[in-house]
């Protein structure tokens, strides 16, 4: 008896320490980011599990940057920890070209791939082959306080210019009454201040690299754009703007402290939600500002679900990705969480839904932003890269993080724009030369 108890206990300890040995069903491990749409997907996946009792879903939810690093380590070393990964428009073309992801071909007719926005499809493909199915997409747009505009007899055009934005900010800036003219991302990071800064630079006619991959950060257009950003946010932004990211600006706008804000279209649902925002019924929407050109003025991003080559449950994983990005899933969200909660920015049919357009006041502008965005032509000048607020090359993440720090420094006043531009150019040249883009 004692021996039996000992053996059972040992088996229990072994099972607890080495769980893989006991796998029975097809287990699909999904690595995803923590945001409202993904959390909703996790909740609703119970429906999928009921429909597919032979598939067991396991969730790994992490903050965007942590997830990116975690997935890169696993996929590059062929760890095989994940069967479905949530990746964006930046990683998909790079990882797809490296052969790390399964090709997503021969999708069933019921999936209706032609319903997906062409720009989103393009951003998740390599040479016309899709490597991730889009879960949700976003552009950038201008949010403004309609009550303040009315009070100052101002009119926001459908697409303002950055000069107009400066003028509006000047008139609306009233820090004594807790209202700042302009809120923008200032926190350093390639997905933080550099996402916005790149769209401003695009609008000012700048580009990251010329056709021979030589950086252009010390050129006139970049310097003008940087100076404009520093002046606008420095003069009419909230105090400590150099440490504000999406969340900080969202909180400022929601508490009525921002007159204008240019950021991701996904913010529209938070700003118009009266349980989160004290200005929910006073928010207006227009396109992201342009300047010399409209090209690249609004960014384009989509989160997609991809299947790593190393997955040992590819069939089950594909079944899940098809379900989670389907029209049927969007319908399920509408039925359970309301029509305004449908995943935005991926399917044209969502925007053909009159009820959605009515319940989501930001939807029309989101649609316009998504339609105008072209990741292949982010600048008025020809470029060798794909991506609007980024260049889809592996080196971009570290380059833009470094440039973001210099820009944040210029905003905080620890260096001049001239110094920031020079340092950015030097740092970028070093990385690009080392990576042998040019000599």
Partner 1 sequence: MHLTLRHQKQLKTLVIGALAWGIALLLFFPIFWMLLTSFKTEIEAFSTPPSFLFTPTLENYLTINERSDYFHFAWNSVVVSVLSTLLGMLVAVPAAYSMAFFETKRTKSTLLWMLSTKMLPPVGVLVPIYLLVKDAGLLDTKAALIVIYTLINLPIMVWMIYTYFKEIPKDILEAARMDGATLLQEVTSVLLPMSKGGLASTILLSLILCWNEAFWSLNLTSSEAAPLTALVASYSSPEGLFWAKLSAVSTLACAPIIIIGWFSQKQLVRGLSFGAVK
Binding site for partner 1 (CB under 8 A): 16-20, 29, 31, 33-36, 39, 42-43, 58-66, 70, 73-74, 77-82, 191-192, 245-248, 250-252, 254-255, 257, 264, 266-267, 270, 276-277
- Cβ-based nearer residue to partner 1, 143 or 204: 143
Shortest Cβ distance from residue 65 to partner 1 (Å)? Answer: 7
The least distance separating partner 1 from the CB of residue 27, rounded to whole angstroms, comes to: 9
- How near is the Cβ of 344 to partner 1 at its closest, in Å? 13
Q: Least Å distance between CB 389 and partner 1?
A: 14
d(CA 256, CA 359): 22
Which residue, 130 or 259, has its beta carbon nearer to partner 1? 259
Tokens 């100076």 belong to residue? 227
Q: Smallest distance from the beta carbon of 81 to partner 1, in angstroms?
A: 5
For partner 1, which is the closer residue by CB, 192 or 224?
A: 192
Cα–Cα distance for residue pair 26/305, rounded to 1 Å: 18
Residue number, 58 or 231, with CB nearest to partner 1: 58
Yes or no: say if 138 and 345 are a contact pair by the CB < 8 Å rule.
yes
Task: For partner 1, give the closer residue by CB, 29 or 397.
Answer: 29
The closest of 121, 139, 141 to 130, measured between CA atoms, is 121
Exposure string over 159-190, b if 16+ CB within 10 A, otherwise e = bbbbebbbebbeebbeeeeebbbbbbbbbbbb
Return the number of the residue (102 or 138) whose C-beta is nearest partner 1: 138
Which of residues 265 and 326 has its CB atom nearest to partner 1 in the complex?
A: 265
Furthest-apart CA atoms within the chain: distance in Å: 88
Q: Tally the residues of the chain.
A: 439
* Inter-residue contact 321 to 332 (CB < 8 Å): no
Question: Angle 396-412/417-434 helices, nearest 10 degrees?
Answer: 170
Q: What are phi and psi of 359, to 5 degrees?
A: -80, -25
How many CA atoms within 13 Å lie on the side-chain side of 242?
A: 16
What CA–CA distance (Å, rounded) separates 171 from 6? 78
What is the Cα–Cα distance from 365 to 146, expressed in whole angstroms?
16
In angstroms, what is the minimal distance from the CB of 223 to partner 1?
A: 28
Q: Which two tokens stand for residue 136?
A: 């949700």
Q: How far is the CB of 54 from partner 1 (least distance, A)?
A: 18
Residues 6 or more apart whose CB falls under 8 angstroms from that of 115 comprise: 327, 347, 348, 349
Choose between 80 and 409: whose C-beta lies nearer to partner 1: 80
Q: How far is the CB of 286 from partner 1 (least distance, A)?
A: 21
Q: 80 — alpha (psi -120 to 50), left (phi > 0) or beta?
A: left
């Amino acid at each position: 008896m004692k021996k039996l108890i000992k053996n059972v206990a040992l088996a229990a300890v072994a099972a607890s320490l080495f769980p893989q040995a006991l796998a029975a069903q097809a287990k699909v491990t999904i690595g995803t980011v923590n945001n409202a749409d993904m959390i909703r997907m996790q909740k609703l996946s119970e429906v999928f599990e009921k429909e597919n009792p032979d598939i067991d879903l396991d969730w790994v939810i992490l903050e965007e940057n942590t997830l990116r690093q975690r997935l890169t380590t696993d996929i590059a070393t062929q760890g095989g920890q994940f069967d479905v990964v949530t990746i964006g428009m930046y990683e998909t073309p790079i990882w797809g070209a490296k052969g790390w992801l399964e090709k997503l071909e021969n999708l069933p007719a019921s999936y209706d791939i032609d319903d997906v926005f062409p720009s989103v499809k393009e951003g998740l493909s390599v040479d016309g082959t899709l490597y991730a199915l889009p879960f949700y997409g976003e552009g950038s747009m201008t949010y403004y306080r309609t009550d303040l505009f009315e009070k100052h007899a101002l009119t926001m055009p459908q697409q303002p210019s950055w000069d107009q934005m400066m003028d509006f900010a000047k008139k609306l800036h009233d820090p004594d009454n807790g209202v700042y003219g302009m809120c923008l991302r200032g926190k350093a990071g390639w997905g933080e201040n550099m996402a916005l800064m790149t769209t401003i630079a695009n609008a000012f006619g700048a580009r990251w690299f010329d056709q021979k991959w030589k950086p252009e950060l010390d050129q006139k257009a970049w310097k003008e754009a940087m100076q404009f950003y520093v002046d606008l946010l420095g003069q009419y932004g909230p105090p400590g703007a150099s440490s504000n990211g999406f969340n900080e600006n969202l909180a400022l706008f929601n508490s009525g402290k921002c007159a204008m804000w240019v950021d991701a279209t996904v913010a529209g649902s938070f700003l118009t939600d009266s349980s989160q925002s004290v200005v929910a019924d006073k928010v207006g929407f227009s396109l992201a500002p342009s300047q010399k050109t409209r090209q690249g003025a609004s960014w384009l991003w989509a989160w997609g679900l991809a299947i790593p080559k190393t997955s040992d449950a590819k069939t089950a994983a594909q079944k899940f990705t098809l379900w989670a990005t389907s029209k049927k899933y969007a319908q399920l969200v509408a039925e359970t969480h309301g029509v305004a909660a449908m995943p935005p920015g991926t399917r044209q049919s969502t925007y053909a839904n009159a009820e959605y357009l009515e319940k989501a006041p930001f939807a029309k502008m989101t649609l316009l932003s998504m339609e105008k965005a072209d990741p292949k032509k982010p600048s008025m000048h020809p470029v060798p890269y794909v991506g609007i607020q980024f260049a889809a090359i592996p080196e971009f993440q570290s380059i833009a993080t470094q440039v973001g720090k210099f820009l944040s420094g210029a905003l905080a006043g620890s260096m001049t724009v001239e110094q920031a531009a020079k340092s950015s150019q030097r740092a970028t040249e070093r990385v690009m030369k080392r990576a042998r883009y040019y000599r």
